[in-house]
Structure 1
Amino acid sequence: MEIKVLFLDLDGTTLTNDQVHVSERNMKAIQEAMDKGIQVVPCTGRVLDMFPPQLLNRKGIRYCITCHGARAFDRDTGRTLYENLITPADSLKICRIIEGNGIYAEIAAQNTIFLERAVDEKLDEMPVPAHHIWYIKDEHCQLAVDSPGEYLFSHGIGIEKVNIYGIPEALQESLYGQLTNTGCIKHTREEVKPDLEFSARTLDKEQAVAAVLKELGVSLKECMIIGDSSSDLDMIKKVGFGVAMGNAPDSIKAQAKAVAPRNDEDGVAAMIEAYLL
C-alpha cells in the first residue's frame, strides 16, 4: 500500500546523539519525501517550541504531535486539532507540590515551557539537560513566572507534560507519591527516580494521530512510523508500516515490520530511501 504519511519520533530517532541536530542525510531524505507528496509529521515527547530549528523552519512540515500525544497541531493555521491536557485546576494542584522546593521542573503548556522564576534565576545551579541548554540557557525561550501554577490556573491553561530533573534524594519518594496521589497524571516511568516525566492520566497518542489522519483523509494503513521507545510501540504495531530504530530495545524491534540502522547511523534516511523513495 502507498505510504501517504510518515510519523517521525525525534529523540533517539531523527536526531543525532546530541539530541539537538538532524543529520544532513536525514534532512535531505525528509525533504525528498515531502517533495514526493508524503506528509512528514513529527510525533514526539517534546513541546512544539523545543523542536530543533532545522524542523521548525522547514516549509512543508505542517502537522505535529507533541508531548507524547497531548496535542496535535496545525502549524499553517495555528489550530489545535486535538488536546488531552491536565486541567487548569489539576495543573495548579501539581505545581503547588513542585513549587518552592528549588526543583528544576520544565512545565510544558501552550506549546512552550514554563519555569518557576526563582528557578529560572538560578539556571547555572540547575541540572538543565545538556540537550536543553540551547533552548533554556542560550536562547532563553522559556516563560519564567513567579508561580506557574497560579499563572496557568488564572489564564485557564492546562499542562501538556512535566519534566523534572535532579530531584534531591531526600525529596524523591515524597514528591513521587504526592504527584501520583493527585490521580490526574500518568508517569512515563513508574518508579521513584531523580528525574520524572508525566502527562495527563488519560493520555492516548493514538487519538492525536487519528485527529491528524482525519484532517488528511488518510488511514492508519497508509502510514509509516519510525521510533525507538515504548511510547512509539502502539503505533508501530498499528500503522501500515512500523519501523523500530536499531538502538530501540529488542522488545520493540520484535513488533516492527523493519528495523532501521541506529539514529547515529542515519537510520531515518535509510528507511525513507529504501521504502518511500
Structure 2
Amino acid sequence: MQLIATDLDGTLLNENHEISAENRQALQMAKDNGVEIVVATGRSYSAAKLPLRNAGLDFPIICLNGAKIYDKAEQLIRSAPLDKQTCREIQQVCQQNNMYFEVFTNKATYSESREKFLEVMIDIMVSAFPHLSREDVELEATNRFQQERIETVDDFEALFDREDIEVYKMLAFSMDDTTLERVRETLEKAPDLTITSSGLSNLEFNHPDAQKGIAVELFAKKYGIKMKDVMAIGDNFNDVSMIKAAGFGVAMGNANEEIKAMANFTTRTNREDGVAYAVRKFLSK
C-alpha cells in the first residue's frame, strides 16, 4: 500500500464529527511509514481542513467530490466546474420540487435562506438521530452552517451570470424519497452532469470529471503511484467511484449494504475507529 484515500463524514469522522485519537494515530503511523494520505470528501476545502487541523493532521485534500484537487503543498492542481446552464437547470428543477439547495463556488457556498437551511437540517437530524434533544440538534445544524461558511443570496440567476464565479457542486435536500427520485430522474440525462449522494435525504450534482475515483487516480499518478497500490475508504454513494477504482476498496461498517458489496473489505463503523482498524490490518500488505 502506497496511498490511502479516505472520506471524512461517516468514515474518518466519528459521530461527533471529529477524528478520534485512534484514527489519527493510525494515519500518522502510515504516513511515517512512507504511505501517502489524501482526504477525499464532498466538503469544501475550508470545511475539510477544519477537522484535520483540530486533530493536528495535515494531508492533501480532494474536495467537493473531486471537483478540486489540492496537492501536498496546498496548491490547486485541477478543478472541474459545472457548466452554468446546467446549474440553471438544477436550480429550476430543485425549486419546482421545493427542495432546499446549496451552491458551492470558488468564492463561497450560497443558499437562499439561513432559516430554510436550519429547518431542513433540523428535520434531517431529528430523523437520523432521534436520541438527540432539540437543543443538541439545533446546535449541530448551526455548526454545519458555520463550518461551510454559507452565505445567503436572493438571485441565483445573477450569481450564475457572474464571470468571476465558478460552480463546483450543488447539493440539494429533501425528506421525501419520492421527490429525490423524481429530481434524479429529471436531471440524470442532462449533459455534463453526474449525480450522487453523500447521506440521507440529499443529492449531489457535479461535473462528470468531478468524481472521487477520477481525482484519486490523478492524485496517485502525480506521485507515481499505481492504483493497485491504493486503498480507498468510504461509506456512501459519492465514494463508490474511488472504492471501485482503488486496488483495495474498503467500506465502513456503517455503509449501505450495496456499497459493502462493491468493496474488497468491510471494516468497523466510524464510531468504532473503522479507518484505524483497516489501516492497521492492511498496512503491511
Structure-1 residue corresponding to 2:194: 186
The correspondence for 1:84, drawn from 74, 77, 80, is: 80
Aligned to 1:71: 68
CA shift at 1:266, angstroms? Answer: 0.7
Pair 1:50 & 2:12 matched: no
- What value does the CA root-mean-square deviation take over the aligned residues? 3.5
Out of 254-263 and 55-64, give the one that drifted further: 55-64
Please state whether the residue corresponding to 2:233 is helix, strand or coil. strand
Distance 1:159 1:272 in 2: 34
* C-alpha displacement of 1:223: 1.4
1:23 positional shift: 1.7
1:134 aligns with 2:143: yes
Distance 1:208 1:202, change over 3 A: closer
* 1:211 Cα offset (Å): 1.9
Judged with a 3 Å threshold, the aligned counterparts in structure 2 of structure 1 residues 7 and 150 are, in CA distance, closer, same or farther, namely same
CA distance in 2, matches of 1:13, 1:88: 32
Of 155, 161, 164, the match for 1:153: 161
Structure 1 Cα separation of the partners of residues 153 and 257 of structure 2: 43
2:123 paired with 1:114:
no
Give the aligned residue type for 1:9.
D
Q: For the Cα contact (< 8 Å) 1:242–1:258, is it kept in 2?
A: yes
- Distance 1:38-1:263 versus aligned 2 partners, 3 A rule: same
How far the C-alpha of 1:61 sits from its partner, in A, is: 3.2
The 3-state SS of whatever aligns with 2:167 is coil
Deviation at 1:146, TM superposition (A): 2.9
TM-score w.r.t. the length of structure 1 is: 0.78
Shift of 1:169: 9.7
Per the alignment, residue 33 of structure 1 pairs with: 30
Structure 1 175/234 Cα, relative in aligned 2: closer, same or farther at 3 Å? closer
For 1:4, the equivalent position in structure 2 comes to 2
Kindly state the Cα deviation for residue 92 of structure 1 after the two structures are TM-superposed: 3.8
Secondary structure, counterpart of 1:151 in structure 2: helix
Instruction: Give the 3 Å change call, closer, same or farther, for CA 86–15 of structure 1 in structure 2.
Output: same
Shift of 1:91: 2.3
Count of matched residue pairs: 267
What is the distance in 2 between the residues matched to 1:194 and 1:140? 18
- Cα shift at 1:134: 0.8
Mapped contact 1:88–1:159 kept (Cα < 8 A)? yes
Alignment check: 8 A CA contact 1:40 1:61 kept: no
Relative to the length of structure 2, the TM-score reads: 0.76
Matched residue, 2:249? 242
CA distance in 2, matches of 1:94, 1:32: 43
Cα distance change of structure 1 residues 98 and 257 upon mapping to structure 2, 3 Å threshold: closer
Unaligned runs of 5+ in 2: 126-139
Cα deviation for residue 267 of structure 1 reads: 0.8
Structure showing the higher helix proportion among its residues: 2
